[in-house]
Structures are given as structure tokens and as C-alpha cells.
Structure 1
Amino acid sequence: MTPPVVDGLQCGPYDREVFEQLRAGGVVCATATVAFWEDAVETMDALAAWHDLATDHADLVLIARDAADIERARAEGRTAIVLGAQNASPLQGRLGFVRHFHAMGLRVMQLTYNNNNEFGGSCYEDSDPGLTRFGREVVREMNAAGMLVDLSHSGERTRREAIDHSAVPVAITHANPRSLYDHPRNVADATLTALADRDGVLGLATYAAISGRYAATLDDWCEMVARTVERMGVRHVAIGTDLSPKAGPAEFGWMRKGRWTRGAQRGADLATAGAATEWLTDAAGLSRVAGRLTERFGFTEAEAAAVVGGNWLRLYETAFQPHRGD
């Protein structure tokens, strides 16, 4: 029996076919991106559209506001959708908007995306100023509201300072160890150690641009899982595919360029992008991961279950609860 699968990050357009792919992959929960560069009103529009979409396909999905909703979706044979933002741009300089967006269903937010901002540094910039004063306030407010701090596109200094500053464990939802594939989006070993020491979780991406040879086949990707577990411990490694179901040129153009440039921006797709991820064309392929980890890489069934879903479920149980601090 395939254990429950949780995908810590996806993005792109969704429809009934995508929801059926999630069910085919045994995915009991997936985090869907509602904002990259969007402002507050645009993000509210996206959240409203997601709630309408979930209502229209209520036999397949529900919007999860807490860990109990995820368990309810699992019991009912549906997929829980966690709504997340890959940037803190929806706040528009207003700390109080953290709680407003939490009330509208947002449960995961990256502090920075592909540019430095008022909260901290990005992995793509030449310099990383670290977590700013405003960034520290936002992390504290996210903890208090019950919103998971995501550091996937942040610079290393910002990542480490946010890990230390947060009162609850944080996540890097979709990145890989930089020591396994050298890419700006990926994470230094020292940061992975800090993340594990604070009981955080790394979601390993299947995106070929940041996975190199580890994206080519299921065995290659499971090798990356095994090598990451050796570095961090099985409790801290999970799945964050970065799949973009049905995304096309318009969606990828927005992800990479937003409104801040007219120039060509390739995002993570650098010249050394590596092989295509042929084993995972959609979420249905995720049903194969747990079995391959046990059959070929020596994981126990409990360890494989933790990686494919249990570690996210444990983190959500903590992070989605309000934490008032000292």
C-alpha cells in the first residue's frame, strides 16, 4: 500500500485533469502557488479564484487551513490544497496583512523570490543583506498567525538568519543540496545543517534545472533523496517537486520577469540545466517514489513514508498553529 504523498510546492494553472493526476499519484496534500510578484489585490483575486475552483471540484479537493483539514481530505479520498505565496510582495509594506491573508486561507509564504526585497536577500542577487528588521517582524507575525515560513528562493544569509529567528521550524519547500548540484537556487550544506538542527524540512525538487543528472530517472532522483538523508537525517527530507501543471509561456514569463524587467530572464533554467525529468511528467508519478526508496535504496517502509509525506504533515501540524512566542 502506497503511503500518503505530500508535495510541498507546485505552481501553474489547475483544472479537473490536474486534480485527477494528484489523486492518481496518491497525493493527499499539495501546496499551490497563488503569488510570485502579485500585490495585495491581485493575490486576493487569486485566492478567491482558488476557493471557487475548489468549490467546483469539491469531490476531488478541499482548501486546507490546518492539519485537521488535511486528515479530513485523506479520509474522504480527496486532495488537500494548501495555498502558498512564493514572495511576500502581497504584504505591500503592511505587517498587518499577514493576518489578513492568513484569514483568507494563505498558509505558506516565502520571504523573498528572485530579487532582494524589504524582507531579505534573494539567491540570485550578488549580495545578500540578510533578514531585515521588517523581515524579522514578518517572521514573528507569521509564527503568531500560524503561517509557514518558506526560504526556497532566499539567499544563504537570509535563510540562516530566518531559521534562527523563527520561533517554530521553517521550510525550504523546493530546492536541493548545492553540494550535489551547484545552482544558485540550491542550498549550502551549512544551511541544511541549521535547518535540520531547528527541526525544519527541505522539500527536494524534481525540476531539472536545479537537479542536473538527478532529474533524469526515478532512480537518479531517489539517489539524491538518499544522499540528502545522509546529510540531514530522514526526519528533515521531503518532496517539493516544483511541478508546473499546464504552465505555458505566459505563466513562465510572469514567474521569471514579473513587471520589473523587459530583458530576457531565464530564471533557474541556466545553460547547465541538465536532463529532462521524464519520469515525472505529472503528479501521478509520485506514487512510485516510496516503493523505489525501499526496493532500491534501503529505506524502511516507515522512513520512506516520512519522506514522501509524513515529514510535511508533522511540520504542518506545528507551523499551522498560532505561536505567540515569549
Structure 2
Amino acid sequence: MSTDYMIINALGILDNPNAEHSLAAAHKLSQDSDDLTIDARTIADAHASGLTAVNITLGYTLGDAEPYPHTLREIEIWDRIIADNPGDLVKVLTADDIRAARRDRRVGIIYGFQNAVAIGDDLTRVKQFHDLGVRVIQLTYNQANHLGDGSMAPENRGLTAFGREVVEALCDSRIMVDLSHSGEHTCLEATRLATLPVSINHTGCRALVDLPRNKTDEELRLVAERGGFVGIYFMPFVNATGHARAEDVVEHILHAVNVCGEDAVGIGTDGTVTSIDDLDAYRARLAEHVAHRQAAGVGAAGERADTFPFVEDLRGVDQFHKLIRLLEQRGLSSTRIEKIMGANFLAYADRIWS
């Protein structure tokens, strides 16, 4: 029997993807919290999986919505979701809130952005978002924005002058600077510039699979050397064919540990706990979704109509326990597995949110 580890997902989704409007959301470019279904199954599955806390994506990521008002509305929606489920969910503002969630058998909800566009040109919004409970802000999505280049921006230019000011403001407000989806030069520059350790909450290792969404050893090592955190995702980018398996995730975790050390690596699945029940129906919808993303210029190399945006044999309520079993089979100690499954993220949160 595996040890009862604290499980913290550095980037995930709380949703029942089988609900009618949640499935329909696969056709949309924007990610709207109104499209999520936080029902009895969603919550029961989260508890059954052993999840202690998850960084969820809210606010503007991409699409036609006005970023700032859309983001404020999304925060209100999540505040209401948590208020409607006080026995099961709790808003995370500090690392101690994660510890309390585990003690109280609730799931901690960490508010995070996957694009910093909602800041606009107003640095005072950084503090405003902090005051509203946002604790993670990713600088860019795949494309370039006014802060810097994302992983799919061909110029790989790094941060803009305003982007450097935003990094400073995020550190001043003690918000995690997440460099997932960033271009290589953006990641390296922000890591060197930041006065607090930064994170890459969901990524893979480019040394294993050479795709833009994966990070180079130089990026991984620099983030770790400066006290940061790296989360490995359960995404198709961990296998060159796009048909990723659980063992591929293990290989990326082990490589990251070798590069970063055992105190910097965790998990950021980029997926739900609740499984999609009808994969055939989902597969039929997926081609349209991928085509929409590509047409809008927001897709990533490695996204294809024939590849799921998750690891097929590492999903559902057993996903974390299966990963633990695989890590045990590879000879990792319980101490090291404990760090990977949640303790490293918790220690990083202590360093940033204190």
C-alpha cells in the first residue's frame, strides 16, 4: 500500500468534462469558468484521487473577451463556487491554507492565470489581483503578448520593457511568476530578473522531446538553482509521437530530478481528475478544437487531431496513485516521492506567499 502523500497539482482543472456544456466548451477558444461543472461527481472524484490542492486557471487566457473585466468576473465565479461548497473546497491564500485543507479533508483551490494580458498597462492591477486572491500569474500563453514571447513566438525575443516591470511587481506582491508556455529567452530572462524564485508549473523536458512547450535543461536548471519549482505535465508533449503514456511522464520526472535536484520537481497535470467517459465522442470533437486553436494562432507544436490532450493511461481518480506506484517501481524512496507529489510545491509556496 502506498504511503498517504499530500498531492498538490501545480496546474489542473476541476470539472466534470462529461457534462453537456463542458463538452461543448471543447469547441470554444476561450476558457470560461461558466462552462465548468463542479458537481457531486467532480468533488467526489477529487477526494477519491487524494488531491489536497490544485492551481486552477481562471481569467483571460485567449479568445475575444475583454481581458480585464472577464478576469474580474471569473474571480467572482470561483469565489461563488467555493462559497457554495464550504465543506469540500477552500480558497488558498497561503501555504498554511494548503496544510489546513489536508487536515480538514477539503480541496484547496489556488487561483492562477495562464496569461497576464489582464494586467493591461496598469501595474496597480497586480496588487489588485493579489488582494482578490490570485496567487499564480503565468506571463504568457503560447503566443507573444505585451510582456514577452510565448513558446510559439518565432522570434524568441524575451521580455519587453513592460514585462520586466511586471515581473518586479509580481515579486513585490509575492505572486508566483509562472513561466510555463513562455519562450526560452522569456523564461531565462525572467528567472534572472525576478527577486523571488519563479516556477514552471506545467512542462516537460526538451532534452527528451524537442517541442517548444517543453523546457531546456538550461531553463530547468536555472529555475531550480534560484529556489524555484518545476511541475511535469500529463500531456502529449512528453512523447515525440504525441501518444503519451504514463511511463513517459515518469521519464520526464526523473530527468527533471536529475537536472534540478529532488527538491524542485513536482507535478502540474494540466488536466482534470474526472475522466472523459466517452473517448470516441470526444475524439470526434477534438479535431475541430485543434483546428480552431491553430487557425487562431494559439496552438502549440505537437497538438494534433489524432492525439489526446492528456495521457490516456494516466487519468481519472487513480492517476496520482498510479504515478506513485510507477515511481515506487523505479526505486524512488518514499521521501523523494513525497516531495514530487506535493511537498516541493508546498515548500515553494512557503517561500513565495509568506
TM-score scaled to structure 1, two decimals?
0.88
| Bigger mean CA offset, 56-65 vs 224-233 | 224-233
1:270 pairs, out of 303, 310, 314, with 303
What is the CA–CA distance in structure 2 between the aligned matches of 1:3 and 1:245, rounded to whole Å?
17
What is the CA–CA distance in structure 2 between the aligned matches of 1:126 and 1:169, rounded to whole Å?
27
Match of 1:310 in 2: 343
Match of 2:185 in 1: 157
Please say if residues 213 and 237 of structure 2, whose CA atoms lie closer than 8 Å, have aligned partners that are also in contact. Answer: no
What is the CA–CA distance in structure 2 between the aligned matches of 1:155 and 1:264, rounded to whole Å?
15
Structure 1: runs of 5 or more not aligned: 322-326
Matched, 1:15 2:38: yes
Match of 1:59 in 2: 87
What is the CA–CA distance in structure 2 between the aligned matches of 1:234 and 1:207, rounded to whole Å?
22
**Alpha-carbon displacement from aligned partner over 1:85-108 (angstroms, at most 9, x marks no partner):** 000011121100001011111110
Match of 2:25 in 1: none
Match of 1:138 in 2: 166
What is the CA–CA distance in structure 2 between the aligned matches of 1:119 and 1:225, rounded to whole Å?
29
| Bigger mean CA offset, 189-198 vs 216-225 | 216-225
Deviation, 1:268, is 5.0
Deviation, 1:214, is 9.0
Listed as ranges, the matches of 1:79-228 within 5 Å are: 79-212=107-240, 216-228=244-256
Deviation, 1:116, is 1.1
Match of 1:324 in 2: none
What is the CA–CA distance in structure 1 between the aligned matches of 2:343 and 2:319, rounded to whole Å?
18
Match of 1:31 in 2: 55
The SS at the match of 2:105 is coil
Deviation, 1:137, is 1.2
Count of aligned pairs between the two proteins: 316
Deviation, 1:292, is 2.5
The SS at the match of 1:177 is coil
What is the CA–CA distance in structure 2 between the aligned matches of 1:100 and 1:165, rounded to whole Å?
22
Deviation, 1:14, is 4.3
**Alpha-carbon displacement from aligned partner over 1:169-208 (angstroms, at most 9, x marks no partner):** 1111111011111111111111111111112111101012
The SS at the match of 1:83 is strand
Q: CA RMSD in A?
A: 2.7
What is the CA–CA distance in structure 1 between the aligned matches of 2:264 and 2:320, rounded to whole Å?
19
| Bigger mean CA offset, 32-41 vs 239-248 | 239-248
State the percentage of identical aligned residues. Answer: 27
What is the CA–CA distance in structure 2 between the aligned matches of 1:45 and 1:245, rounded to whole Å?
25
Name the CA shift for 1:319/1:283 in 2 (closer, same or farther; >3 Å).
farther
Match of 1:279 in 2: 313
**Alpha-carbon displacement from aligned partner over 1:295-314 (angstroms, at most 9, x marks no partner):** x1111100000001011001
| Bigger mean CA offset, 11-20 vs 179-188 | 11-20
Deviation, 1:234, is 1.1
What is the CA–CA distance in structure 2 between the aligned matches of 1:185 and 1:191, rounded to whole Å?
12
What is the CA–CA distance in structure 2 between the aligned matches of 1:272 and 1:300, rounded to whole Å?
38
The SS at the match of 1:9 is strand
Structure 2: runs of 5 or more not aligned: 16-35, 277-281
Deviation, 1:133, is 1.7
Deviation, 1:255, is 12
| Bigger mean CA offset, 308-317 vs 16-25 | 16-25
What is the CA–CA distance in structure 2 between the aligned matches of 1:236 and 1:262, rounded to whole Å?
36
